[in-house]
Structure 1
Amino acid sequence: MLEDFWKDKYPKGLPTEINPDQYPNILAVMKESCQKFGNKPAFTNLGKTITYGDLYRLSGQFAAYLQNHTDLKPGDRIAIQMPNVLQYPVAVFGAMRAGFVVVNTNPLYTAREMEHQFNDSGAKALVCLANMAHLAEQVVPNTGVKKVIVTEVGDMLPPLKRALINFVIRSVKKMVPAYNIPGMVKFNDAMAKGKGARFTEANPSNDDIAVLQYTGGTTGVAKGAMLTHRNLVANMLQSKALMGSNLHDGEEVIICPLPLYHIYAFTFHCMAMMISGNHNILITNPRDISAFVKELSKVKFSGFVGLNTLFVALANDEGFRKLDFSNFKVTLSGGMALQLATAERWKQITGCQICEGYGMTETSPVATVNPIDNVQLGTIGIPVPSTLCKIIDDAGNEVPLGERGELCVKGPQVMKGYWNRPDATAEILDSEGWLKTGDIAIIQEDGYLRIVDRKKDMILVSGFNVYPNELEDVMAAIPGVAQCAAIGVPDEKSGEAIKVFLVKAAGASLTEQQVKDHMRENLTAYKVPKFVEFRDALPTTNVGKILRRELRDEELKKLGTK
């Protein structure tokens, strides 16, 4: 029934199916592409470009180091904690070629968050940027990490430029706090040791885990989504299929401002662009809009992958509006809802329509997307090939077309499950392979989907998922807090901002600044609340459960949006 419904909903020329077993694993894709597009540019950062041939050679050096100079065994987890620099794809693909599972780690993590992820994943090694090595120094002794490799931003640049950039970051901008990690190895020393050394190329099965990608799922503490080689190969093929004939293999220049450690950018830039031999421009710090625009002015780019807040920031920049958009073909949006006004303004400035998609870490991540030639603003598009969507009610029954309910997704890109959490897996993934997204949606008669409500309690700050449970756990540890709750409130800049509510214990003298300082010490910056409100009591159920929905409703009423 579902298969029949979707068959005629795809624009002419776009496939409804892909073969997720076309490649046995990610490494087969890499080898084929690096041979086919060996002389084509793969990644550029800070003025340095590496070709696909370079990527294969350099990742091989890193793989050789890992196999010959560490005690890691096949299947061990290795945490990679870097922003968008050339070392990232080299380390990730080197780790995979050596037979290890990549644990993508946010460079903005606090020591507490790092410790949880490293212990939960069982990571045995860490590759991190020097800027956060002082945190690794604190965390590593409390984890199973035995080998730490540290790199600096400029490590893969030519010698003079490398020395200059690393000096400026270390000594002028003071961005590298002092650290001392016993047995630590410098990235370039590791690469030198691996150069010319032999290693055994891994050949994982398609059901083996390639990446542990951490997410809060629909609620709660971060869990590791087990993404297999088949999951990621499938999503690569699915993403490429819906690009249609607009993008030409080996000819496109794609801007990559979103972090590669996030599954959205990882799948698109490290996978879908690899199979098509296209050129990725890595932006290390997209928040520095003037520097970002300067990088954009150096290339005639044809594609851009971003999210709503980034589109808004660029559209507001005079320099961006003056750029040459003559080669611009495609803009992809995900991570947070695309606002209609943003999409219209972007097209007015650039001449390029934004294609909005939808996905989750648990779907590797793309589940639906607007085809480039058939964009329907306000929707999240149609399911990618070989993917089914259905809408269910609270009892789990499928609802009629056009009615709202929880969106469920089924396809070869759906994760294997949560790492070491069978109970959490069973809550979201059934025996038939249907994944409950927690988002409320409608399927239109033409097959396009609309998200009409949001996950119950999740807060979306600039495309990052923030979970109230985690915020409340951290707040509850503050002396003098009797009750607390966290919600999202509308924010023009970030989509949503965090507002927290606290009830003080009798006699406690707690200030807004003390709350923010505590949160900042224990959470990544985007999880720190923008607003703090003290109350005498919080709304609760008759069994004492705090009603976040009531708090949200009150805030929306104040803003006149409800």
Structure 2
Amino acid sequence: MMGSINPYATSYSTLPAGLNRWAYANLVDFFERTCARYADKPAFTSFGRTLSYAELERLSASFAVYIQRHTDLSPGDRIAIQLPNLIQYPVVLFGALRAGLVVVNTNPLYTAEEMAHQFADSGARALVIHKSMAHKAEAILERTQLNHLFVTQVGDLHGFVKRTLLNAAIKYIKHLEPDFYLPGALGLRDVLLEHLGERPTPVKPGLHDLAVLQYTGGTTGVAKGAMLTQGNLLANLMQGYDFINSQGSGWAENVLLPLPLYHIYAFTVSQIIMASGGHCVLVANPRDIDSLVREIAHWPMTAFMGLNTLFNALCNRETFRQLDFSRLELTLSGGMALTRDAANRWEKVTGCPIMEAYGLTEASPAVAINPRHAIQPGTIGLALPHTEVKVVDEEGRQVADGVPGMLCVRGPQVMAGYWQREEETHETITDDGWLKTGDIAVQQSDGYLRIVDRAKDLIIVSGFNVYPNEVEDVVCAHPEVVECAAIGVPDPDSGERVKLFVVSNSASLDRAAIREWCRRHLTAYKVPREVELVTELPKSPVGKVIRRHLRDAPPAADTTGTTESRRSA
């Protein structure tokens, strides 16, 4: 297993005094003891099927036993999990960790090309994938090291009747499972049932050992794996647990979790909920607002984990506004900036204020959060326990309160480094362990933090990071594109949307063709909503595109049609 690069992270052979009050040895120890403590309580629900903590423990143990007895996978090997919000996800996650594997969280919306990069870069040898995405894996299998494949369907952990109906509806009525051919692929359901009731051989990773590769563009836009150790994730879990549980009780009884578990925000929050003996109600498709409202009505929520886009979308629905929110104790926002308008609307409708938090993948992810009873709108709150923050100028010198500068973070949740990218790690983490977030912040005299500008050029669409370089690389591969540049522009629904400026060598190339090209090669949220054809891009004397000039430039008269005049940007 590749060792830690961040020297400060390696100093955490134990977690800071007072943080790990239960003295968990690692995430597996946390999981097993939590499941024993709350055995009869509901843990996760999806599509109407609820797993208790005891069931979750038994199923994950069975998966771990299968890995240990029937594969050549060894502790430290990587396993990719590419699933939507299904109860199979926590089963596979903790089963893999119990077998000593390193989890590679993979977005189910990825294109085949994006999957190929992540699987090859991580060196993943195993993949758990939903059948709706298996045809994509077939297309890139030969370019990876994958030799253990497990496929699952939505209803696999339901009873016979509902399982049959659910799986048939998705395949034959909704046509969401294209045919595929993956030689040697196994049905996850069969694998989980094979060793039910058996115990895996104990694996005892240290806090410095790698647990998850969470892919991110960082501040450069090149997709790379943030190495999150057992200690990183356990520390952030306990930091969040201490902070959120200090705000009141009863919040974790029914937590609506519409954000995907493969995303680091929901990934860590779900474990904070588990630590509280809580119940995660998973929503597979939060974009279906009507279905989300019905789920909320069915499970009177005590807490809701969302982001700005969802708060707005829900408050726009009359059916949502008519629900009973008397049990709602806590609302948490993360993943993207929370607007004051969205926060005010949510509190007016539900009676529950939103606790805005801030984090990034490289910090597992939480850095700061607003205390429930002392929320300051427009801020990201206070640093979590055992977390140091400072704001520095361009020379790395700490600035005074109220002066903007780059936010830096140090603490047990800061990643060990980027997978197999030592140079980029040293550019991001200082020798004494400070993570340079790239975000421009102001620290107030009372300790509250405000983000005044994002990491340079980063576009955040509905909480998902979109890196201009990635979009531009795809578009520049088009034979009729000379060069291009992507920026983010404000969007009332998604926070931001991607806008693309293109210089072409063909008078016949139009916006529709460019967007169709992008749809073939990029996940949907990365596809430019606006395309503007220009004769040239603004550049510095050394030839670097000046994106701020593109952001400041007035839009062309028509940015939605398929024919256009060309202008200089």
Q: Quick one: distance in 2 between partners of 1:66 and 1:381?
A: 43
Indicate the residue corresponding to 1:477 in structure 2. Answer: 477
Q: Does 1:317 align with 2:314?
A: no
CA–CA distance in structure 1, aligned partners of residues 345 and 507 of structure 2: 49
Residue 90 of structure 1 corresponds to which residue in structure 2? 91
SS in 2 for 1:88: helix
State the alpha-carbon separation in 1 of the partners of residues 34 and 21 from structure 2: 17
1:480 CA drift (Å): 1.4
Report the equivalent of 1:7.
Answer: none
287-296 vs 241-250, which moves further: 241-250
Are 2:515 and 1:516 aligned? yes
CA offsets 1:493-543 (integer angstroms, 9 cap, x no match): 1111111011112x4521111111111111100000000111111111112
Q: CA deviation at 1:342?
A: 0.6
Q: Which amino acid aligns with 1:181?
A: L
Contact 1:21 1:230 (8 Å CA) reproduced: no
Is this contact kept in 1: 2:26–2:230, CA < 8 A? yes
Report the counterpart of residue 406 of structure 2 in structure 1: 406
Q: What do residues 68-106 of structure 1 show as CA deviations (whole Å, max 9, x unaligned)?
A: 121211110000000100100000000000110000000
Moved more, 242-251 or 510-519: 242-251
Distance (whole Å) between structure 2 residues aligned to residue 148 and residue 140 of structure 1: 10
Question: What whole-Å deviation, never above 9, does each CA across 1:348-371 have from its counterpart, x for those lacking one?
Answer: 000000000100000000000001
Residue 250 of structure 1 deviates from its aligned partner by: 9.3
Please tell me the root mean square deviation across aligned C-alpha atoms, in Å.
Answer: 1.6
Of residues 240-249 and 224-233 in structure 1, the stretch that sits farther from structure 2 once superposed is 240-249
Q: Residue 146 of structure 1 aligns with which residue?
A: 147
Which amino acid in structure 2 is aligned with residue 535 of structure 1?
A: V
**1:220 & 1:390 partners in 2: Cα distance?**
24
Alpha-carbon distance change, 215 to 21 in structure 1, aligned in 2, over 3 angstroms: farther
Where 1:115 maps in the other structure, the secondary structure is helix
Asked whether the equivalents of residues 489 and 556 of structure 1 are also in contact (C-alpha less than 8 Å), the reply is no
Per the TM alignment, residue 336 of structure 1 is displaced from its structure 2 partner at its CA by 0.5
SS of 2:553 mapped into structure 1:
helix
Tell me, in whole angstroms, the C-alpha distance in 1 between the residues paired with 2:221 and 2:385: 31
Q: Name the CA distance, whole Å, in 2 between partners of 1:428 and 1:389.
A: 15
Deviation at 1:21, TM superposition (A): 9.0
Opposite residue 448 of structure 1, the aligned amino acid is Y
Give the aligned partner of residue 352 of structure 1.
Answer: 352
2:132/2:176 contact within 8 Å kept: yes
C-alpha distance in 2 between matches for 1:418 and 1:19: 26
- How much does 1:194 deviate? 2.6
Residue 249 of structure 1 deviates from its aligned partner by 6.9
Aligned pairs for 1:524-543 within 5 A? 524-543=523-542
| Cα offsets for 1:128-171 (capped at 9, x unmatched) | 00000000111112100001100001111111001001000000
Instruction: List aligned pairs for 1:152-551, cutoff 5 A.
Output: 152-248=153-249, 252-269=253-270, 271-505=271-505, 507=506, 509-551=508-550
Structure 1 321/450 Cα, relative in aligned 2: closer, same or farther at 3 Å? Answer: same
What is the correspondence of 1:113-128 to structure 2 with a 5 Å cutoff?
Answer: 113-128=114-129
- For 2:152 and 2:96, the matched residues in 1 are separated by 15
Aligned to 1:104: 105
Normalization by structure 2: what TM-score?
A: 0.93
CA distance in 1, matches of 2:123, 2:522: 21
Cα distance change of structure 1 residues 303 and 557 upon mapping to structure 2, 3 Å threshold: farther
Secondary structure of the 1:243 match is helix
Answer whether contact 2:252 2:302 (CA < 8 A) is retained. Answer: no
Q: Is the 8 A contact 1:44 1:280 kept in 2?
A: yes
In structure 2, the partner of 1:18 is 19
CA distance, structure 2, for counterparts of residue 302 and residue 329 of structure 1: 5
Structure 2 unaligned regions, length at least 5: 1-15, 558-569
In the superposition, the TM-score normalised over structure 1's length comes to: 0.94
- 2:248 and 2:278 map into 1 onto residues whose CA distance is 9
Q: Distance in 2 between matches of 1:318 and 1:68?
A: 53
Deviation of 1:326 after TM superposition, in Å, equals 0.8
Q: Deviations over 1:183-242 (max 9, x none)?
A: 010111111223244531211111111110000001221110000111111101111111
Partner of 2:564: none
Deviation sequence 1:262-300 (CA, Å, 0-9, x none)? 01000011x211111111100111111111111111122
Map of 2:565 onto structure 1: none
What do residues 286-336 of structure 1 show as CA deviations (whole Å, max 9, x unaligned)? 111111111111122110000000000000011111111111010000110
- Distance between the aligned counterparts of 2:48 and 2:122, measured in 1? 35
Moved more, 546-555 or 244-253: 244-253
Question: Structure 1, residues 350-394: CA drift from partner, whole Å, max 9, x if none?
Answer: 000000010000000000000111111110000000001100111
Per the TM alignment, residue 22 of structure 1 is displaced from its structure 2 partner at its CA by 3.0
Letter paired with 1:72:
L
Distance (Å, rounded) in 2 between the aligned partners of 1:273 and 1:368: 18
| Structure-2 change in CA distance of 1:41 and 1:151 (3 Å) | same
Match of 2:385, as an amino acid? P
Q: Secondary structure at the match of 2:482?
A: strand
Kindly indicate whether the alpha-carbon contact (under 8 Å) linking 1:414 and 1:435 is maintained by their aligned counterparts in 2: yes
Aligned CA distance change for structure 1 residues 399 and 375 (closer, same or farther; 3 Å): same
**Alignment map for 1:125-136 (pairs within 5 Å):** 125-136=126-137
Shift of 1:245: 3.7
Q: Which amino acid aligns with 1:290?
A: D
Structure 2 counterpart of 1:114, one-letter code: M
What is the rounded CA distance, in whole Å, between the counterparts of 2:168 and 2:51 in structure 1?
23
Residues 111 and 139 in structure 1, CA contact (< 8 A), matched pair in contact too? yes
In the aligned structure 2, how far is the partner of 1:250 from the partner of 1:201?
A: 33
Distance of 2:510 and 2:555 partners within structure 1 = 25
Closer, same or farther in 2 for the Cα pair 1:16/1:556, shift >3 Å?
farther
Query: Conserved in 2, the CA contact under 8 Å of 1:246 and 1:329?
Result: no
Note the residue ranges of structure 1 that are not aligned, 5 or more in a row.
1-14
Q: Distance in 2 between matches of 1:308 and 1:487?
A: 20
Query: Which amino acid counterpart does residue 472 of structure 1 have in structure 2?
Result: E
Structure 1 counterpart SS, 2:343 = helix
1:557 positional shift: 12
Percent identical among aligned pairs is: 53
Where 2:442 maps in the other structure, the secondary structure is: strand
Change (3 A) 1:182 1:404: same
